[in-house]
Amino acid sequence: MKISVKIKSWKKEIKDNPLIYVLLAFILLLAFFVRAYRTGDLLRFYFDQGRDALVIWRLWHEGRLFLIGPVTGLAGIFLGPFYYYLIAPFYLIGGGNPVYPAVFLAFLSTLAIFIVYFLGWKMHSRVAGIIAATITGFSYYIFRTSRWLSNPNPILLTSMLFLWSLWEIANGGKKYWWFLAAFFAGLSLHFESASAVFYIPLLVAFSIWQRKNLPDFKTIIISGAAFFATLIPQILFNLRHNNILLDNFKKLFFEERAFRATTKFILEVRSEYFWSVFSTKLFPTWRAYAVLFVILAGFVLLASRYKFKKLILPLFAIFLITPMVGYLLFQGNHGNIYDYYMSGYFLPFILLFGIGLGELWKKPGGFIAVLFFFYLFFASNGMFIKNYITATVKTRPISLEEELKAVDWVFENARGRGEFNVDIYVPPVIPHSYDYLFLWQATKRCGENLCNMVKDEQVSLLYLLYEEDPPHPERLEAWMDKQAGIGKVEEEAKFGGITVQRRKRL
């Protein structure tokens, strides 16, 4: 009954605002198009992607379940396994083709754009929702993250679902929103722990703010159980491996003192980092314009007398300031932090900025400033997106297109020549990507025979595959010098930055 009522209310909403929803549909379709277009050619399939694909291959072909996910940037700290289970069905549907999970992740990021619109509408207006959705859909760096076949990608969606849950709670929503907030906070830890780890203190700060609206003890217990349930795989892994995860956490927090008092230097470095993280989501290069419009949107929000400000500003302050404080105190990992560590805050920032522009739109002449923003926004981001999706082998980094061509060349060249070995050089040395591509293509072509590709013993026929390594040419030269004493070159082919050779062992 409730579902049918909601469907009817949505039908009425769309019928009453046709222009808004035609525009939203166009935004979503175009955003998905640029995220999925030429995935087979442009997919960056490197170390992480090959590692993840091999884990999933063992799931489907060897029945090997897993309790942990990818390793984080912190030594010995692993994510939960849900990312693997999320994309595993699409590797199966695609027969091992990484394009399928990549397109699925592009779809999830497009779904996140709809959530951005929905919250912008509910928090302020349909115009604010459209503004925020448009920025999310065509921000170059959000677009890049959305095409990334890697574990941080889904947090674009779960961060918005988490924020939605908190918004409903702040608006006096039903008790189950506490359960959902805890669940999405825990689930996000499976995707990008460097972001989601701050969802825990964030949730505590939010609860203090909402202390008058705290649920009953039963709801708190159920919500805690929902969060705890997302950690069960890691807990089981830890117990089965002599507390390895717990010991690594202890080492990080106590021996290495990952969190400690900030200094003037750290404050300056982190301030630049935070501004770079958020400003580049609006303008990849024109940072002066980002300063102008962030100040303008912030001023309009602060000056507003509308009731929504009483909920919006404290909610977003808690959501965005908490990780900033956390990273001011975090000095582990040799002080290194990267843009994607804040993946769980990209879309909430854009939503808040969009609400600011939505408020500006309502002011006399404000729509002119908003239209000027979008003129600059599309001039900047549109150029980068266009260059990305139209790039050729000569103008982009090595991608799946030429990787598969190189692998196919080996199998075609080796046909009828008997058993052969493959030796690979790629930066950063570990060739997980090609390990997977050779395994996938050999199985696809020849089944368990692997087309006579041999790994456990040396045979006379040897294929070398190596990529250019401009930052460290000395490493490739050393590898090639070693290969010169192993085999004689008989044939060679090039595919962009990849070289493949057939050699006969000496």
Higher pLDDT pick, 217 / 262: 217
**Residue appearing with tokens 């959305």:** 146
Greatest Cα pair distance, the chain, in angstroms, is 82
* Mean pLDDT along residues 471-479: 91
* Mean pLDDT along residues 463-483: 92
Strands (E), 429-497: 461-467, 487-495
Strands 461-467 and 487-495: unpaired
For CA atoms 361, 363, 364, 369, the dihedral sign is: negative
Q: Phi and psi of 195, rounded to 5°?
A: -85, -55
* Mean pLDDT along residues 18-38: 97
Position 55 scores a pLDDT of: 96
**Secondary structure tally for the chain: helices H, strands E:** 23, 4
* C-beta of residue 26 within 8 angstroms of C-beta of residue 130: no
Closest Cα to residue 230, out of 81, 408, 428, 407? 81
Which helix (H) or strand (E) segment holds residue 501: the answer is strand 498-505
Least confident interval from 17-21, 210-214, 474-478:
210-214
Is 80 exceeded by the pLDDT of residue 75? no
* C-beta of residue 353 within 8 angstroms of C-beta of residue 290: no
Q: Which tens digit of pLDDT belongs to each residue from 282-321? A: 999 988 899 999 999 999 998 887 666 788 999 999 999 9
Q: Phi and psi of 64, rounded to 5°?
A: -90, 100
Strands 498-505 and 461-467: antiparallel
Position 1 scores a pLDDT of: 45
